[in-house]
A and B are shown apart, each in its own frame.
Chain A
Amino acid sequence: DIVMTQSPDSLAVSLGERATINCKSSQSVLYNSNNKNYLAWYQQKPGQPPKLLIYWASTRESGVPDRFSGSGSGTDFTLTISSLQAEDVAVYYCQQYYDLGSWTFGQGTKVEVK
């Protein structure tokens, strides 16, 4: 199975400041045939189910604010919140779908307001 490792486990950021979450996969999730990275990001607020934010590593889901952006390729990826808002307090997960028989998530990164 592809192991997804996020860093840090938690971070505290002041309102209006940038938050950066990293995700590393144990093997590349870049499909050479179509040059796509098979990686998604989710946001989970307390007591709620996860919500899809980004897929193909950098494509925002419809309705997701543009302060959320995804980048990276191969094994190293980043989710950036350009200007943290109070409603962004949540746990964020990356997920690979390169291995189409075992879909795996990172352990999660908790984002709080400093």
Chain B
Amino acid sequence: EVQLVESGGGLVQPGGSLRLSCAASGFTFSSYWMNWVRQAPGKGLEWVANIKQDGSEKKYVDSVKGRFTISRDNAKNSLYLQMNSLRAEDTAVYYCARGVGYRVYYFDYWGQGTLVTVSS
């Protein structure tokens, strides 16, 4: 059974940093692009970042470029999101999602999410 379990969310002040983790199991982690998708309270879904199977390619939504860094450790079946210079508008539930397709098409499995709140 495919499982994705996020952790690391919490309350952080504007300008602060946070590192999210996603532990994957039930599939060959190293064979898939992995993604972070976020959802602000009461709002819709926004794709944030993704990373190729071997970590050699990374893509980001414009609003987080230069502030967020996605990474992975295939030996630990884990995905990460380092978030720096956090802003109030980064407040959201952050989901880890598996990408389908050799270039990531849609997202077939999602974790339960971890809440990040940026507030003073």
Contacts and interface: CB of A to CB of B under 8 A. Distances in A.
Contacts of B61: 102
Interface in A10-59: 38, 40, 42, 44, 48-52, 55
B46 A105 contact: yes
Interface stretch (B9-17, B77-85, B100-108): B100-108
A49 B106 contact: no
B110 A100 contact: no
B26 interface: no
A49 B108 CA distance: 11
Interface in A68-97: 93, 95, 97
Contact of B45 (A38, A51, A105): A105
Contacts of B50: 103
Nearest to A48: B112
Given A38-B105, A97-B105, A101-B59, A49 B47 contact: no
22 contacts: A42-B45, A48-B112, A49-B113, A50-B37, A50-B95, A50-B110, A52-B106, A52-B107, A55-B106, A93-B45, A95-B45, A95-B106, A95-B107, A97-B104, A97-B106, A100-B103, A103-B47, A103-B50, A105-B44, A105-B46, A106-B44, A107-B44
- A-B pairs, 7 with minimum CB distance: A49-B110, A40-B106, A103-B47, A97-B105, A105-B45, A108-B44, A55-B106
